[in-house]
Amino acid sequence: MTDVHVMQPFGGPIVGVPDVPGSKSQTNRALLCAALAEGTSRLSGILFADDTEAMLEAVISLGAEIEADRESASVEVKGIGGDLRFQDIVIDCRSSGTTSRFLLPVLVAGKGNVVIDGSDQLRSRPFDEQIRALRSLGCSLTETRAPGELPIEVVAEGVNGARVEISGATSSQFISGLMLAAPLYTGGLTIELTGTVVSRPYLDLTVNVMNDFGVVVEQPDESTYVIQQGSYGCADIEIEPDASAASYFFAAAAITQGKVKVDGLHRDSCQGDTQFVEVLEKLGAKVTWGKNSIEVQGDRINGGTFDLQDFSDTAQTLASVAAFAESEVEIKGIGFIRVKETDRITAIVSELTKCGVEVTETSDGVIIKPDKWRLKGASIETYHDHRMAMSMSLLGLRVPHIEITNPGCVAKTFPNFFSVLEKLRPSAVPLAEAVAVAAIDGPAGSGKSTVARALAVELNLPHFDTGAMYRAVAVAALRQQIDASDSGAIAALAETVDIKISEKTIVDGIDATEEIRGAEASHLVSVVAANPDVRRILVPRQREWATELGGGVMEGRDIGTEVFPDAIFKVFLTADLQVRAKRRFQETADQTLDDVLQDLKRRDHVDSTRDDSPLEVAPGAVIFDTSNMSAEAVVSELAEMFRLRVEG
């Protein structure tokens, strides 16, 4: 049976300081430099995950001595001083692109025979560019399975460096590997990049780490790196928190309207993926750059176009954030991520589409056209890609029934990701300290009334049908034959009409329980609810209604946005239009199904486009698709979410 992690929506804003592990990129560069150095290096704050364990095993096989303290996230590395000698060994790089692509140029500088291999996933990733570059330097490399792929058999006899050309458009890892190996080559190496360079911040990171270990990298221009023959010296290095991993928590703050701070990252961090918070800032989040921290506070998510060429590992994260945006988001400059752990562009399109998001693939990215009404749960295929698992799980912070298949793939870079995320779940609010309002909004036919009444019973709380107030005014207007276009007369009526709502709805002393659900009232209520003067009169009554009783389950179309924007628990119920029409058709005797369908379309348009308090998903609200669920099942899940938010 496939392993599955089912996300449980948070039902509130995420708040906290997550324990983000060390940077994979910095860790693997530092481990290799330390292993090649003369003397003992000390690395603190490193990442212990599958990718870095692969590098640790690899450098041990090359002769480096390692003392690891996993509890303190530190290692001591006694290096080999550049003396690379091996005989008929096989290095298993697991699924680690950095380990394999950093090691291959290093191995050819040694003496002996070695095979470099990895998992089926790594075997499927391309090595063509690096192989061609190394062969141009006279290196003996043989692909034993398929051209341009692992396994690769190396007969190493040292390298005369000189000059090499390599494309910058495929993977920065190929270039970084050549840079890391260059001091071991006789005469050093000049690397000339061709084409558009992707992920340049990772090349900058390589230069910084090499500098930390005493190797100077000259850059006469943007497309040239010159490294002289030399040796690495030992060093004491503090590894930064992984900026790519931190992006998930920054995104979670944006999605849930929460606040997250990550210590150890700052504006001058050596990792390019810190640029992701600048994208969130442009989308509407508030970003605070501390001396040694970055804090993101979420707000409404805008749209925009973003080029992620230099920090593409956050593309999937941004795609998940975009699902909750107010307008279109285009992610471009990432065509090369089709050859990562999986074809990440195709994966983004496939999995977001399952969740009700409209996504279009472009030549170098995706265009996401969000419609929060359509968001729904789905079983997410991760393709054994850790970044798919972590980024797509963010949808589950607000959308029920998001299931992450093969969640264990996160072990590649962040083994305890799900537990760290869960620790940021909002703490329960003591009931005595809050007006415990469960705000339930949604379009007609989504099940609001049925679910809200049953939820109130389940939670032993009062039930408030604010829509019934507007319907009552509509009934009063129909009784007095007031023209629907006479907004002033309807507002005046709202000021004077006597409305009592409990088990029955009484309008001016007459039972209107059935009348408010009739076709005429249903047709008029959107006009009444769109009248700003009517809303000005009724909204304060709704607030007083709930506050006097200390809370309750309040339903309507603007409860979480206008009436109680600070409600402890906000839900937007939705359902497929056809499903909603069938539900409404079963409740009426004087309309055809098509009549009901057309009326719902009209009401959706009127409600969502009105100038005053349009129907929209409240910021941070749980978006719950009820299309294929019974009211009892919906109530059960909502009750559990509410109890997690309220204590007592």
Just list the catalytic residues.
313
Distance of alpha carbon 442 from alpha carbon 572, whole angstroms? 5
Task: Judge if 575 and 461 occupy the same domain.
Answer: yes
Among 211-220, 240-249, 370-379, 510-519, the minimum mean pLDDT is found in: 510-519
Distance of alpha carbon 48 from alpha carbon 70, whole angstroms? 7
- What pLDDT does 375 receive? 98
Per-residue pLDDT band for 584 (boundaries 50, 70, 90) equals confident
Cβ partners under 8 Å of residue 629, min gap 6: none
Among 232-236, 254-258, 366-370, 581-585, the minimum mean pLDDT is found in: 581-585
Give the mean model confidence (pLDDT) for residues 374-389.
Answer: 97
DSSP code of residue 94: T
Helix count and strand count (H, E) for the chain: 21, 33
Distances (CA, A) of 161 to 86, 193, 223, 299, 530: 21, 16, 18, 53, 74
pLDDT at 648 over 90: no
Distance of alpha carbon 52 from alpha carbon 56, whole angstroms? 6
> Three-state SS across 106-129?
HHCCCEEEEEEECCHHHHCCCCHH
Q: What is the mean pLDDT of the chain?
A: 95
Domain annotation covers residue 105: yes
Full residue range of the structural domain in which residue 614 is found: 429-647
Last residue of a domain, one of 196, 211, 238: 238
Q: What is the signed CA dihedral for 50, 54, 56, 62, rounded to 10 degrees?
A: 180
pLDDT at 1 over 60: no
Of the two residues 531 and 42, the one the predictor is more confident about is 42
Q: C-alpha 568: how far from its chain's center?
A: 23
Domain annotation covers residue 422: no
Task: Judge if 336 and 457 occupy the same domain.
Answer: no
Distance of alpha carbon 641 from alpha carbon 646, whole angstroms? 9
- What pLDDT does 467 receive? 84
- What pLDDT does 76 receive? 98
- 538, 470 in Cβ contact below 8 A? yes
Give the mean model confidence (pLDDT) for residues 534-544.
Answer: 89
Task: Judge if 459 and 572 occupy the same domain.
Answer: yes
Tokens 């393709």 belong to which residue? 383
Give the mean model confidence (pLDDT) for residues 583-595.
Answer: 85
Range list of H helices, 182-299: 200-212, 243-256, 276-283
Element (H, E) at 5: strand 4-6
Closest-CA residue to 533 (of 483, 562, 495): 495
pLDDT at 635 over 80: yes
- What pLDDT does 432 receive? 65
Domain annotation covers residue 423: no
Task: Judge if 196 and 228 occupy the same domain.
Answer: yes
Per-residue pLDDT band for 2 (boundaries 50, 70, 90) equals low
- The strands making up 622-625's β-sheet, listed across from edge to edge, are 463-465, 551-556, 436-441, 569-574, 622-625
> Three-state SS across 57-69?
HHHHHCCCEEEEE
Task: Judge if 551 and 639 occupy the same domain.
Answer: yes
> For 479, phi and psi rounded to 5 degrees?
-60, -40
- What pLDDT does 465 receive? 83
Tokens 């504006």 belong to which residue? 267
pLDDT at 589 over 70: no
Give the mean model confidence (pLDDT) for residues 210-237.
Answer: 97
Distance of alpha carbon 571 from alpha carbon 550, whole angstroms? 19
Cβ partners under 8 Å of residue 202, min gap 6: 25, 172, 173, 176, 272
Last residue of a domain, one of 201, 222, 238: 238
Task: Judge if 12 and 34 occupy the same domain.
Answer: no
CATH number for the domain that contains residue 293: 3.65.10.10
Distance of alpha carbon 639 from alpha carbon 627, whole angstroms? 18
Domain annotation covers residue 421: no
Distance of alpha carbon 489 from alpha carbon 534, whole angstroms? 10
Closest-CA residue to 395 (of 255, 298, 555): 255
CATH number for the domain that contains residue 595: 3.40.50.300
* CA pseudo-torsion sign 76, 81, 87, 93: positive
Distance of alpha carbon 581 from alpha carbon 586, whole angstroms? 9
Per-residue pLDDT band for 285 (boundaries 50, 70, 90) equals very high
- 123, 148 in Cβ contact below 8 A? no
Among 25-29, 348-352, 468-472, the minimum mean pLDDT is found in: 468-472
Pair of tokens at residue 431: 């009931």
Give the mean model confidence (pLDDT) for residues 66-90.
Answer: 96
Task: Judge if 74 and 124 occupy the same domain.
Answer: yes
Q: Quote the pTM value.
A: 0.92
Domain annotation covers residue 380: yes
Give the mean model confidence (pLDDT) for residues 305-310.
Answer: 98
Domain annotation covers residue 424: no
Task: Judge if 163 and 178 occupy the same domain.
Answer: yes
- What pLDDT does 482 receive? 94
- 440, 452 in Cβ contact below 8 A? yes
Cβ partners under 8 Å of residue 644, min gap 6: 8, 11, 425, 428
Helix, strand, or coil (residue 396): helix
Task: Judge if 452 and 569 occupy the same domain.
Answer: yes
Last residue of a domain, one of 191, 213, 238: 238
- What pLDDT does 544 receive? 86
- What pLDDT does 556 receive? 87
Domain annotation covers residue 610: yes
Half-sphere exposure of 602 (CA within 13 A, CB side): 12
Element (H, E) at 446: none
Domain count, the chain: 3
pLDDT in tens, 422-461: 999 998 888 666 778 999 999 999 999 899 999 999 999 9
Q: C-alpha 383: how far from its chain's center?
A: 16
Task: Judge if 104 and 188 occupy the same domain.
Answer: yes
Task: Judge if 194 and 206 occupy the same domain.
Answer: yes
Domain annotation covers residue 413: no
pLDDT over 70, % of the chain? 99
Closest-CA residue to 299 (of 283, 314, 315, 323): 283
Task: Judge if 608 and 593 occupy the same domain.
Answer: yes
Give the mean model confidence (pLDDT) for residues 34-41.
Answer: 98
Distance of alpha carbon 552 from alpha carbon 169, whole angstroms? 57
